[in-house]
Structure formats: C-alpha cells, structure tokens
C-alpha cells in the first residue's frame, strides 16, 4: 500500500529536514559575531530577533499554506516549503551583515511548513481509528532529527566553519525534498469532495469557535509551546547554577536532549492509547503530568535530578502534538483539515515567539527556578481549559 510507503518516506524526510533546520541554531549568535565587533548585548538582542522572526512569519503564513493544501493537495506545498527552506539556508552562508541574516530568516519563516504539511498529508491518508499511532510514529522522525541536528551542526561548524555548514544543511534539505518529490504518492481526488470549495475562511473560523474542544486545542498549542520555549533558552544558565564546570555547553546539551529521548520512547504509545480510549482523555492526562513534572525541575539541586525529570517530562509531552493532530483529523471535515491544522500550527509558532521573551523577563525579575513554576502553572491552566471544554461538549451533546 502506498500509504505505508508514504509514511516511511515522510519519516526519513522529516528526520532530515528537522535535523538540518536545527543544525544552525546552536551557532546563530556566534555567526552574528563574525559580522563585526559588537557588544554582547547587541549580539544577544539580535540573536533573539533572528531566531524569533522565523516563527513570527510562520504564525501568519501557516493557515494560508493549509488552505492551499486543502484545495490543491499537500505535495506541492512540501515541494515549495522544502526547496524554499533549503535555498534560504544556502544564501545564509553568503551573508555578511545582521540585517541580511534577519531577512533570510524572515523568508525562511514564510516558507516554513514542511513538517506540519507532512502531518496533514499522512493524516489525510490514515484511517481515523489509527491516526494517533501513525502520527506518533511520524513525530518520532521529527524528534530524532531535532535531537541529532544541534549535535551535527556543532561538529560541522567546528570542522568546516559556519559557511560550509549552511551549504551542507541546505543540500540535505533539498535532498529530502527530492526524495518526497519522487517517492510520495498523493491521490488527486480532491475534486470528488463536493464540499471542497464551500468553506470560506469565515466558515472555518466559525467551525473552530463552535467546537469548544477544538478551540481549546488551538489555545493549548499556544500555551504548550510558550511553556516549552520559556525554559529552553535558560537551560544552560540553570545547569551552570547546578554544576560549576567548564563544560557547560555539553552538560546543557544533555539536559536538553533528555526531553527528546523521552519523546522517542513514548510518543507512538501515547498516540496508540489515544486511538483506543480517546485523544481528549490522553491529552488531559499528559497536561496534568507535565504540570507536576516541572515542579521537581525547579527544586533540583543536582544535575542528575534535572536530567531525570526532563526525561520524564519528555515522555509525557511527546504525546500531546500527535494526539492533538489526530483529534483534528477526527472532528474536522477533510475539505478544511489543512487549514484547521494550519491555525493549530500558527498558535504553536506564536508560542515559540512568546515563550523565550516570557522566560527571559521572569528570570530577570526573579530567578530561573521561578520560570519552571510558571511553566508548571501554564500546563495546569491548559489542563483546566481542556477539562472545561470537554465537560461543556458532553453537556451540549447530552442535552441535544
């Protein structure tokens, strides 16, 4: 069956794209330093701008890609976004000013959508009964690439320099896109869906707002990404507080990667459990567990404690995105699934922008431990929101 082949190909492609896209993240601030003699404050400020502008652009563009995919198919978007990301990163190797790098990262945000579109493609070809398991499997490719990407990027930058690392990264992404171009089969039967052109953007908005759980899923995406990204930029500083050593970058990498390894072990299992007992129930369990597991991270006094609870947190948080995607697959009509998923991705990207800013402000006003407590509260708020929306939906169904 072509569906199984598509899943294998998209797993490999997502691994390559995720690994390549994260290769350049560890040394963005170092790359900026090569453009001139700048103060540390200037470098830190522009590193934040350069990092965040990609997600900010993607926040506005993702629903448009989703709508385009609903009308014309997801494979063309995979081609546009894959080649677009590869070309953007290639030209980053030729930049010699902060503004040029900023503009290219902005362009990269406009064409960012390869991995979310791959989820939409595989979801559209997957029976609802096993959507969680299949999407969890696909998510493992993304997580694996995200784990190894920063490691490979650091090694390449040390071995070949920043410029050639951009070139190598670009080549790998283009290769992954070509693999999808020649290997992925997408049935062109969208004209057979009668309601295909009957949904306007206004219709999609009303559909989301009329479904309490679906609307909550959108807000959850924002809260979860805000919570995740509020802590990640501060991990190295937090590790430095726990362990006084010259190998902070390596130890911080261990703390960061622990979450990803937890993801790898449990993501597929959570998706399968959602197929069996309902994705809303699984998401509620995961949100409450994530809230609890952030508290011991704030109270850690040794590095092994932080790593252990980061790993346990990774095991629970890894199932949230596949279960949310599978839920959208179940409740949204096929003709608007791409656009609904696009809005969901937009909220996630917005959280990627808000999180680091919030974490930096809180740690500046109080301390890094406080960020963990606030993050725990965000997950608890997300749990309360989803619990309320599920109860409201059950009440509406019972009264109708």
Query: Whole-angstrom Cα distance, residue 357 to residue 238?
Result: 17
Tokens for 10, please give them.
């998209």
Tell me, yes or no, whether 239 and 208 share the same domain. Answer: yes
Q: What is the mean pLDDT of residues 83-108?
A: 91
**Structure confidence at residue 253 (pLDDT):** 65
- pTM of the predicted protein model: 0.72
Tell me, yes or no, whether 236 and 330 share the same domain. Answer: yes
Tell me, yes or no, whether 209 and 166 share the same domain. Answer: no
- 275: confidence class by pLDDT, cuts 50, 70, 90: confident
Q: Residues 172, 186, 347, CA angle at the centre, nearest 5°?
A: 65
CATH of the domain at 265: 1.20.1250.20
Query: Whole-angstrom Cα distance, residue 134 to residue 274?
Result: 11
Per-residue pLDDT at 199 exceeds 70: no
5-36: per-residue pLDDT in tens? Answer: 888 888 888 888 887 777 776 667 678 888 88
Q: Which of 158, 184, 210 is the last residue before a domain boundary?
A: 184
**Structure confidence at residue 249 (pLDDT):** 57
**Structure confidence at residue 248 (pLDDT):** 63
105-131: per-residue pLDDT in tens? Answer: 899 888 877 877 887 788 777 776 777
Among candidates 19, 57, 288, which has minimal Cα distance to 154? 19
Please give the DSSP secondary-structure letter assigned to residue 23.
H
Task: Indicate whether 274 belongs to any domain.
Answer: yes
Count of the separate structural domains present in the chain = 2
Lowest mean pLDDT of 266-270, 335-339, 354-358, name the range.
335-339
Domain that holds residue 75: 1-184
Task: Indicate whether 378 belongs to any domain.
Answer: yes
Please give the DSSP secondary-structure letter assigned to residue 36.
S
Per-residue pLDDT at 87 exceeds 90: yes
Tell me, yes or no, whether 171 and 205 share the same domain. Answer: no
Tokens for 171, please give them.
């080549």
Tell me, yes or no, whether 277 and 162 share the same domain. Answer: no
Query: Whole-angstrom Cα distance, residue 311 to residue 302?
Result: 15
Task: Indicate whether 90 belongs to any domain.
Answer: yes
Mean pLDDT of the chain: 79
Q: Note the helical H segments in the chain.
A: 2-23, 28-33, 40-72, 75-92, 98-110, 114-124, 131-160, 162-183, 201-210, 212-231, 235-242, 248-277, 279-298, 303-317, 320-331, 337-365, 368-399
Q: Which of 152, 184, 216 is the last residue before a domain boundary?
A: 184
Task: Indicate whether 191 belongs to any domain.
Answer: no
Per-residue pLDDT at 92 exceeds 70: yes
Percent of the chain clearing pLDDT 90 (strictly above): 8
Tell me, yes or no, whether 60 and 147 share the same domain. Answer: yes
203-234: per-residue pLDDT in tens? Answer: 777 777 777 778 888 888 888 888 877 777 67
142-189: per-residue pLDDT in tens? Answer: 767 776 776 677 677 777 777 888 898 899 889 989 998 888 877 655
Per-residue pLDDT at 192 exceeds 50: no
Query: Whole-angstrom Cα distance, residue 144 to residue 19?
Result: 8
Tell me, yes or no, whether 141 and 215 share the same domain. Answer: no
Tell me, yes or no, whether 153 and 209 share the same domain. Answer: no
Tell me, yes or no, whether 257 and 342 share the same domain. Answer: yes
Q: 387-398 burial, b if ≥16 CB within 10 A, otherwise e?
A: eebbeebeeeee
Per-residue pLDDT at 90 exceeds 80: yes
Task: Indicate whether 386 belongs to any domain.
Answer: yes
Tell me, yes or no, whether 318 and 222 share the same domain. Answer: yes
Task: Indicate whether 120 belongs to any domain.
Answer: yes
- Do 263 and 143 meet the contact criterion of CB atoms below 8 Å apart? yes
Please give the DSSP secondary-structure letter assigned to residue 60.
H
Q: What is the largest CA-CA distance in the chain?
A: 68
Tell me, yes or no, whether 275 and 391 share the same domain. Answer: yes
Query: Whole-angstrom Cα distance, residue 84 to residue 387?
Result: 40
**Structure confidence at residue 219 (pLDDT):** 84
Query: Whole-angstrom Cα distance, residue 62 to residue 64?
Result: 5
Per-residue pLDDT at 103 exceeds 90: yes
Tell me, yes or no, whether 31 and 158 share the same domain. Answer: yes
**Structure confidence at residue 400 (pLDDT):** 59
């Amino acid at each position: 069956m072509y569906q199984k082949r598509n899943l294998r190909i998209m797993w490999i492609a997502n691994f390559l794209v995720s690994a390549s896209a994260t290769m350049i993240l560890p040394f963005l601030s170092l790359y900026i330093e090569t453009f001139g003699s700048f103060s540390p404050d200037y470098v830190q400020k522009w590193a934040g701008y350069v990092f965040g502008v990609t997600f900010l652009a993607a926040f506005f563009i993702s629903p448009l890609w989703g709508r385009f995919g609903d009308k014309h198919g997801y494979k063309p978007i995979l081609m546009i976004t894959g080649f677009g990301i590869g070309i953007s990163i290639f030209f980053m190797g030729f930049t010699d000013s902060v503004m040029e790098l900023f503009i290219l990262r902005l362009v990269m945000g406009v064409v960012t959508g390869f991995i979310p579109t791959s989820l939409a493609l595989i979801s559209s070809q997957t029976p609802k009964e096993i959507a969680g398991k299949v999407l969890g499997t696909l998510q493992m490719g993304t997580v694996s690439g995200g784990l190894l990407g920063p490691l490979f990027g650091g090694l390449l930058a040390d071995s070949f320099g920043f410029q050639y690392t951009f070139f190598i990264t670009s080549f790998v992404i283009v290769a992954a896109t070509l693999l999808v171009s020649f290997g992925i089969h997408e049935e062109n039967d969208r004209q057979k869906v009668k309601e295909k052109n009957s949904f306007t953007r206004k219709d999609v908005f009303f559909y989301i707002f009329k479904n309490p759980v679906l609307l909550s899923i959108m807000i959850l995406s924002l809260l979860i990404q805000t919570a995740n990204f509020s802590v990640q930029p501060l991990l190295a500083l937090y590790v430095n507080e726990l362990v006084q050593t010259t190998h902070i970058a390596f130890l911080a990498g261990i703390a960061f990667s622990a979450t990803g390894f937890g993801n790898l072990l449990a993501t597929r299992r959570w998706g399968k459990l959602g197929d069996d007992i309902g994705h809303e129930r699984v998401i509620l369990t995961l949100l409450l567990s994530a809230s609890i597991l952030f508290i011991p991270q704030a109270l850690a006094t040794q590095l092994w404690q932080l790593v252990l609870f980061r790993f346990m947190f990774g095991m629970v948080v890894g199932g949230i995105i596949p279960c949310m995607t599978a839920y959208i697959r179940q409740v949204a009509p096929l003709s608007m699934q791409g656009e609904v998923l696009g809005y969901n991705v937009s909220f996630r990207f917005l959280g990627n922008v808000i999180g680091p800013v919030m974490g930096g402000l809180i740690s500046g006003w109080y301390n890094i431990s406080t960020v963990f407590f606030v993050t725990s509260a965000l997950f608890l708020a997300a749990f309360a929101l989803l619990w309320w929306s599920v109860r409201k939906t059950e009440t509406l169904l019972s009264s109708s």
